Amino acid sequence: MLEATRWLLGAGILMWMLAWLGESAIGVNWGTVSFHKLKPSTVVGLLKDNKIPKVKVFEAEADVLKALMGSGIQVMLGIPNEMLPLLSTSPAAADSWLRQNVSAYLGKGGADIRYIAVGNEPFLTSYNGQYQNLVMPAILNLQQSLVKANLAGYIKLVVPCNADAYESSLPSQGAFRPELTQIMTQLVQFLNSNGTPFIVNIYPFLSLYDNNDFPQDYAFFEGTTHPVTDGNNVYTNAFDGNYDTLVAALSKLGYDQMPIVIGEIGWPSDGAIGANITAAKVFNQGLISHVLSNKGTPLRPDAPPMDIYLFSLLDEGAKSILPGGFERHWGIFSFDGQAKYPLNLGLGNKELKNAKNVQYLPSRWCVASPSTDAQNVANHMRIACSVADCTTLDYGGSCNGIGEKGNISYAFNSYYQLQMQDSRSCNFDGLGVITFRDPSVGDCRFLVGVTDKGSDSSASQIRCQWWILLAFLVIQTISSFSL
């Protein structure tokens, strides 16, 4: 382990210098909340073929981390909010988590883990302060674990924050929410003392989606008829305005030069009004071109974000749709690793390259029988869509206009593919029928599932890690009482 630590420290110093001196890097978020998962090795191949140098993952999945070993891709490894209560109260649990999920994958030829993201938007207003007082104790325990493992000089702790952590009507007046001032001061002091950037997630799409009065062109980078004037500064896009609001908030705490990384940003391609292929392409290409131009923002001219992580790499068809059906369609690639639209990431390829050697189920689909009576099918559709993904049928979705019989067929097929084309799953009391003719219509794609099962063990692995950590804490507690 000592030799591996020395190698990591040497590589870390060099790469940190290059990161700080170089231009913004483009990375991606790799989420795995999907019904149809590609093998992690296939996804890593997709990252490498597209020359994507950095990836953020949301939790420690053994098969994902193994696939990233030796890839040369820098990793930001997430810890779910649900683990904060344990990690904030038990140094032993922090040691155990680090040992199982970080140290086990490091060293020469290992995974290049650069950041550990402690929680995911833990200060979100909708959490009502649930995790607010757990973040710093968890960070301090994990920092001590890194120190004990001789990794603190290489792996840095960060906290991805939602943009609702700060507020203002004008960027120059930006300030953190009053109830967060104390904890943000502590967090920023910690980040600064460890040479670590502030991570923020910015979503102009959500500003547009949630506010009917939000100017649509202000969400993009093509210019606007509704600029925001702030003293001598004029803002023509929501990203710059939001970013500088954070800059001003940091300045109020005395950290006007703190580096900033965009942890999540993107545009969905389906599932809602305004979420479509054209808008997603225009936004993402505009964002990349804007950041890589090195123009910066009015409050930080010639100083763009240190890195940006696009949200996201792949569609995640099993995500919660409580915010909206668009939540399952943020990927620049569809669930099977196929590019949705041409996109130049500024990394050497002019367009995205598709995943290779994807193994699909046979080319067959489940559709509504020609004799199906739409009046008798509502319950079957409801059951199918409660299990499978039918969000493209939502208002504004790519399949919204395919008609009543088309809607039935789409729901049936989504369920059928999820059940790995089990013939019994296309019965629906005799209302469904299997066809070998692709029923896709225009932009509405009837999917065929993939046969990859390389990720199926991830959920059980994470549950196992949870039980191990909890058992470890119980043993420690019993031991302390016996002493």
Tokens coding 289: 């071109």
Tokens coding 282: 């225009």
In the residue annotation, 59 being an active-site residue is answered as no
Longest dimension (CA), the chain: 75
Considering the candidates 59, 264, 316, 327, report the single residue annotated as catalytic: 264
| The 3-state secondary structure of the chain, one letter per residue | CHHHHHHHHHHHHHHHHHHHHCCCEEEEEECCCCCCCCCHHHHHHHHHHCCCCEEEECCCCHHHHHHHCCCCCEEEEEECHHHHHHHHHCHHHHHHHHHHHCHHHCCCCCCEEEEEEECCCCCCHHHCCCCCCCHHHHHHHHHHHHHHCCCCCCCEEECCEEHHHEECCCHHHCEECHHHHHHHHHHHHHHHHCCCCEEEECCHHHHHHHCCCCCHHHHCCCCCCCCEEECCEEECCHHHHHHHHHHHHHHHCCCCCCCEEEEEECCCCCCECCECHHHHHHHHHHHHHHHHCCCEECCEECCCCCEEEECCCECCCCCCCCCCHHHHCCCCECCCCCECCCCCCCCCCCCCCCCCCCCECCCCEEEECCCCCHHHCHHHHHHHHHHCCCHHHCCCCCCCCCHHHHHHHHHHHHHHHHCCCCHHHHCCCCCEEEECCCCCECCECCCCCECCCCCCCHHHHHHHHHHHHHHHHHHHHHHHHHC
Closest C-alpha among 248, 244, 159 to residue 200: 159
Considering the candidates 121, 179, 327, 351, report the single residue annotated as catalytic: 121
In the residue annotation, 121 being an active-site residue is answered as yes
Residues serving a catalytic function are: 121, 264
